[in-house]
Amino acid sequence: MNVVMLQGTLLRAPEMRVLKSGHQFVAYELRIERSDGPVDTVPVVWVDAPARALTLEAGASVVVTGRVRRRFFRAAGATASRTEVVATEVVLARQRKRVQAALERARAGMAAPTEPQP
């Protein structure tokens, strides 16, 4: 199971990128404050995101649901990797009903695994 639910602040404005395949994605950098003091920054990508994905502004508090992915690529003649969250939804934290619905959908994806049949 690979399910992520995060709440944090956007460090910068979203950035639209287009892949060679023609798919588009929106890239975010999310700042997450932890209760024990340190701050985490998490790269988030939202593939084929709706138009509203670009309306979010730096400093906005958001809730992200999705999955963790590590991708490999070639850079400067070497293999490099990046771990990021692939979002299924990004919602303003103040939109409580939309946040609740997004979390419910994420939780539904966490259904208990079934036991193998004999």
Domain positions in the chain are: 4-108
CATH architecture for residues 4-108: Beta Barrel (2.40)
DSSP reduced 3-state for 40? strand
- pTM of the entire structure? 0.84
Cα dihedral value 35, 13, 25, 108, nearest 10: 30
Mean pLDDT of the chain: 90
Task: Give the pLDDT confidence of 26-83 residue by residue, as tens digits.
Answer: 999 999 998 888 899 999 999 999 999 999 999 999 999 999 999 888 888 999 999 9
> Would you place residue 118 in the very low, low, confident or very high pLDDT band (cuts 50, 70, 90)?
very low
The predicted structure's pLDDT at residue 40: 94
Q: Give exposure, 28-42, as e/b (b: 16+ Cβ within 10 Å).
A: bbbeeeeeeeeeeeb
- CA separation for the pair 85, 102 (Å, rounded): 15
- CA separation for the pair 109, 111 (Å, rounded): 6
Q: What are phi and psi of 20, to 5 degrees?
A: -60, -30
